[in-house]
Structure 1
Amino acid sequence: MSNTYYRDEPVVPSFDRAPACPFAPAPEVTALRAEQPIARLAAPEGAPGVWLVTGYDLVRQILAAPHFSSRYETQYHPLAGGHLPPAPVGDLTGMDAPEHTRFRKVLAGKFTVRRMNLLTERVTEITRERLDVMERQGPPADLVEVFAQPVPALMIAELLGVPFEDRERFQAQAGAVSDAGAPEAQFAAFAELGEYLRRLVLAKRQKPADDLLSDLATGGDLTDEELGGVAAFLFGAGLDTTANMLALGTFALLSDPAQLAALRDDPGLADNAVEELLRYLSIAATGMRGVLEDVELGGRKLKAGDTVIIAVNAANRDPAKFPDPDVLDLRRSAAGHLAFGHGIHQCLGQQLARVEMRVAFPALLARFPALRLAVPAEEVPLRTDPAQVYGVRSLPVTWDRG
């Protein structure tokens, strides 16, 4: 075992990405992965220990181990200077067993691979409709506004059973929730959507239909408050992540003409391409866990009450797991990537996200084979707030009119 695991000096790495490499983890985080895959971070005097974990095997071990807690109140946040508040009702990412098990059991059967694949036809229709809108409006266009954000928003509306007469407003509010450049409007929109979803839960109790929310309202043991919280959680988890994968993934492809051409010319590559883009981009870049009991990890002794920050983006580029990890290669096998997590908290909606991306990327490139950035790459505005999913605030693109 390398003695670099045992350095005692706490580190203060920068999490800022290099401007020339917007898809890569911060250089200092990558360097730490090579030098000490688990490193103690500097923290105020009297604060619990905070550890940054960047190695693939160690991150995977943490995500699978029950003595690392997902409950927010067990985690000390260095930027906030204290422990986080408990998760809102229905937020599965902030629960441990047995509470998490109860919620997951109710939801797991609703997100099977088979059921999500049955939605492919509807995903295809929505994707085609948004590409029609994009084509009618003509170039240039903001891909986030016209395509990347509406596709998952409309699919979530479909999944939850939002009435057709409410979908235009629902989509507008979803757009406001996704607007990282306007935080006050973002919070207000999310609060309004949360209230709307709570009312929708009551409506589904009274008059169920053929949708996920009706299934949960009539076939589960969740209270109205819990079900409303779950609906808000599913909305938040399913919208921001997929929207940013579609936008940032397109940005990555437009920045790599050879890989873009490979997918454009061979739509059958879509399944593999999606997994590689998930690994390469790792938009949910970091996560946290609270340490529930004294444990040894990677040669370091962690104490109960400590916090670990897991750098998923660094782990997904660990050369010990993925050869030439900093190269985007749509033909590589990215099996085992951690973009959707691992263990009991692995993303419930991952199959729907995959379906959306497998349909959307090839359809976009087929409709606009000459798609390209409308501004220099360095002018594309990025979402750099560490509290948010990584991505772009907008993606100006253009193409040749037919």
Structure 2
Amino acid sequence: MSHPGSLSPVDSTEPLPDFPQQRRCPYQPAPGYRELRQRGPVVRARLYDGRPTWVVLGHAEARTLLIDSRLSSDWSRPDFPSPSARRKAILTATMLIGMDPPEHTAYRRRVISAFSVRRTRELTEEIQRRAGELVDAMLAKGPDADVLRDLALPVSSYTICGILGVPYEDHDYFEKQSAQLVSPQVSPEEVGQALLNLRGYLTELVDRKERETEPGPGLLDTLVHEDLADGSLSREEVIRLGIILLMTGHETTASMITLSVFTLLQNPEHLAVFRAGPDKAALAVEELLRYLSIGDVVMRVAAADIEIGDLTIREGDSVMLSMAEINRDPDAFADPDRLDLERGARHHVGFGFGVHQCIGQNLARAEVQSALTALFDRIPDLRLAVPAEQVEIKPAHSGVQGIYALPVAW
């Protein structure tokens, strides 16, 4: 796993490259990452605040490090790194992602049944129905639409609202607050205010559910009437769990759906796969997850010295994993820059790896497949309504790669 060109934190006199770097094409990694890969699978770079960091680009190295208990996800650590001031403002307000076992394991166990394979199968028909309704509404209102506004956000928000027991009529409010977290025009202070707004919303919702004599079917209802009621979770813990699940449950999937549509419209020779049946569509979604890697930057800090190849990551060192490059590692994927919707590469790390692997991955797959199938089946002549170069790309440090809008026509 070593590489003769790898930079050492102590013996290099070369200026460190910046990390993360901005994508120029929404579905391609930043061009500068290829130069980093030539130096090795684990290299040195510099964060926005000047702090040096290790950047992991190799697939084997990533999977090794992501299951190493010495690599910490504890966001409460004062030495925990961040790719931007905006992301740093978010770290203090969320949980579940930003902690280590055994605490992380205990919280994950309380919520994972709501996102199981069995639960996803139960919900898939409803997700397909909702996606179809949204596309039909686009057609009725057409002949143009915005894929993000009219399909991706509504289907993902509707689904996570059903899972959590959040009233869907409130989706405009929490979508607006979540959008503040990834907008390049928003200051860290405004990010903090958006998080306070989300907290206020979840606090009021938890209070309302607690007053109900009969709990609803949502996960929040269960947490309130069982875990909060018996004292196994505090009110603060229930609220924070609600915030992170609501945020991640709609923003990431909406971005994935929107960016997938853009990618396929730019590569129309692949569209026939979605009309060849659910098995082919499922394979296609898996390849899109690898190819797009919307959750590009994964943050960690070394809690102890870690040797990887001929390198030593020292205790307290920042470690950033570039999932986009890890999923384009030629040692793990043949011809990795080629989009192959029949590749079937399930060993990608689009949902992470190890104990922090995304609990909502089965649900996300169902949502993406349902939305893309409904869209391309019902509107076979779909096309971009603006030149591709006018589509605005989210900043590299936003946490979720993607685009802000996708105007289409037919």
TM-score, with structure 1 as normaliser? 0.90
Q: For residue 140 of structure 2, what is the aligned residue in structure 1?
A: 136
Match among 232, 237, 243 for residue 232 of structure 1: 243
Worse overlay, 204-213 or 320-329: 204-213
Q: Secondary structure at the match of 1:201?
A: helix
Q: For residue 60 of structure 1, what is the aligned residue in structure 2?
A: 63
* Cα deviation code 1:262-309 (max 9, x no counterpart): 223444312111111110000011111111111212321121111111
Matched, 1:159 2:163: yes
Aligned residue runs from structure 1 range 190-201, under 5 A:
190-201=195-206
Deviation at 1:6, TM superposition (A): 5.3
Deviation at 1:158, TM superposition (A): 1.3
Q: For residue 120 of structure 2, what is the aligned residue in structure 1?
A: 116
Matched, 1:174 2:175: yes
Q: Secondary structure at the match of 1:52?
A: strand
8 Å CA contact 2:23, 2:393 repeated in 1: no
Worse overlay, 315-324 or 129-138: 129-138
Distance of aligned partners of 1:397 and 1:176 in 2 relative to their CA distance in 1, 3 Å threshold = farther
Q: For residue 4 of structure 2, what is the aligned residue in structure 1?
A: 3
Aligned residue runs from structure 1 range 241-256, under 5 A:
241-256=252-267
Structure 1 counterpart of 2:73, one-letter code:
S
Structure 1 counterpart of 2:58, one-letter code:
G
Q: Secondary structure at the match of 1:249?
A: helix
Matched, 1:212 2:213: no
Task: Tell me the distance in 1 between the aligned counterparts of 2:330 and 2:132.
Answer: 38
Structure 2 counterpart of 1:382, one-letter code:
I
Q: For residue 357 of structure 1, what is the aligned residue in structure 2?
A: 368
Structure 2 counterpart of 1:212, one-letter code:
L
Distance of aligned partners of 1:290 and 1:248 in 2 relative to their CA distance in 1, 3 Å threshold = same
Distance of aligned partners of 1:125 and 1:176 in 2 relative to their CA distance in 1, 3 Å threshold = farther
8 Å CA contact 2:135, 2:151 repeated in 1: yes
8 Å CA contact 1:251, 1:395 repeated in 2: yes
Count of aligned residue pairs for this structure pair: 393
Task: Tell me the distance in 1 between the aligned counterparts of 2:392 and 2:47.
Answer: 31
Task: Tell me the distance in 2 between the aligned counterparts of 1:200 and 1:88.
Answer: 21
Matched, 1:39 2:40: no
Q: Secondary structure at the match of 2:114?
A: helix
Q: For residue 99 of structure 2, what is the aligned residue in structure 1?
A: 95
Task: Tell me the distance in 2 between the aligned counterparts of 1:107 and 1:178.
Answer: 25
Task: Tell me the distance in 2 between the aligned counterparts of 1:78 and 1:210.
Answer: 38
Q: Secondary structure at the match of 2:347?
A: coil
Question: Unpaired segments of 5 or more residues in structure 2?
Answer: none
Task: Tell me the distance in 2 between the aligned counterparts of 1:49 and 1:216.
Answer: 41
Matched, 1:367 2:378: yes
Q: Secondary structure at the match of 1:309?
A: strand
* Cα deviation code 1:90-125 (max 9, x no counterpart): 511110122212211211223211012111122122
Structure 2 counterpart of 1:57, one-letter code:
A
Question: Unpaired segments of 5 or more residues in structure 1?
Answer: none
Q: Secondary structure at the match of 2:203?
A: helix
Deviation at 1:188, TM superposition (A): 4.9
Task: Tell me the distance in 1 between the aligned counterparts of 2:94 and 2:306.
Answer: 29
Task: Tell me the distance in 2 between the aligned counterparts of 1:346 and 1:325.
Answer: 22
Distance of aligned partners of 1:63 and 1:15 in 2 relative to their CA distance in 1, 3 Å threshold = same
Structure 2 counterpart of 1:173, one-letter code:
F
8 Å CA contact 1:312, 1:339 repeated in 2: yes
Task: Tell me the distance in 2 between the aligned counterparts of 1:342 and 1:59.
Answer: 8
* Cα deviation code 1:181-223 (max 9, x no counterpart): 4637776555333322222222323321112111222333221
Deviation at 1:143, TM superposition (A): 1.0
Distance of aligned partners of 1:48 and 1:385 in 2 relative to their CA distance in 1, 3 Å threshold = closer
Sequence identity percentage: 37
Distance of aligned partners of 1:126 and 1:171 in 2 relative to their CA distance in 1, 3 Å threshold = farther
Q: Secondary structure at the match of 1:40?
A: strand
Q: For residue 342 of structure 1, what is the aligned residue in structure 2?
A: 353
Worse overlay, 315-324 or 294-303: 294-303
8 Å CA contact 1:149, 1:175 repeated in 2: no
Structure 2 counterpart of 1:141, one-letter code:
A
Q: Secondary structure at the match of 1:183?
A: coil
Distance of aligned partners of 1:78 and 1:213 in 2 relative to their CA distance in 1, 3 Å threshold = closer
Match among 294, 308, 315 for residue 297 of structure 1: 308
Q: Secondary structure at the match of 2:5?
A: helix
Task: Tell me the distance in 2 between the aligned counterparts of 1:302 and 1:115.
Answer: 40
Task: Tell me the distance in 1 between the aligned counterparts of 2:111 and 2:206.
Answer: 15
Task: Tell me the distance in 2 between the aligned counterparts of 1:246 and 1:130.
Answer: 13
Structure 2 counterpart of 1:214, one-letter code:
D
Aligned residue runs from structure 1 range 139-150, under 5 A:
139-150=143-154
Task: Tell me the distance in 2 between the aligned counterparts of 1:14 and 1:90.
Answer: 23
8 Å CA contact 1:178, 1:186 repeated in 2: no
Distance of aligned partners of 1:173 and 1:13 in 2 relative to their CA distance in 1, 3 Å threshold = closer
Deviation at 1:242, TM superposition (A): 0.1
8 Å CA contact 2:26, 2:403 repeated in 1: no
